[in-house]
Amino acid sequence: MNSRRNFLQKITASALAWPLLSSATQASSINAYNRTYQSQPLRVAIMGLGSYGTRVAEAMQTCKMAKLTGVISGTPSKIKDWQSKYNIPEKNCYNYENFDRIKDNPDIDAVYIITPNALHHPQTLRVAKAGKHVICEKPMAINAKEGKEMVDACKNAKVHLLIGYRMHFEPKTLEIVRMRKAGEMGKILFFEGLSGFKIGDPNQWRLNPKLSGGGAMMDIGIYSINGARYMIGEDPIWVTAQETKNNREKFKDGIDETIQFQLGFPSGAVASCLSTYSMNNLDSFFLNGDNGYAKLQPATGYGPIQGRTHKGELTQPHVTHQTLQMDEMAAIILQGKKPEVPVNGEEGVKDMQIIDAIFQAVKTGKKVDLKV
C-alpha separations of 163 from 298, 329, 352 in Å: 22, 10, 12
Q: Which of 52, 112, 165, 223 is catalytic?
A: 223
What SS3 state is found at 53?
helix
138 counts as catalytic? yes
How does DSSP classify residue 195?
E
How far is residue 171's CA from residue 228's CA, in Å, rounded to a whole number? Answer: 17
DSSP 236-284: -SEEEEEEE-S-TTTS-TT--SEEEEEEE-TTS-EEEEEEESS-SSEEE
CB burial of residue 89 (10 Å; 0-12, 13-18, 19+): exposed
Phi, psi of 150 (to 5 degrees): -65, -45
Phi, psi of 258 (to 5 degrees): -140, 130
Q: Which of 138, 172, 295, 350 is catalytic?
A: 138
Enumerate the active-site residues.
138, 223
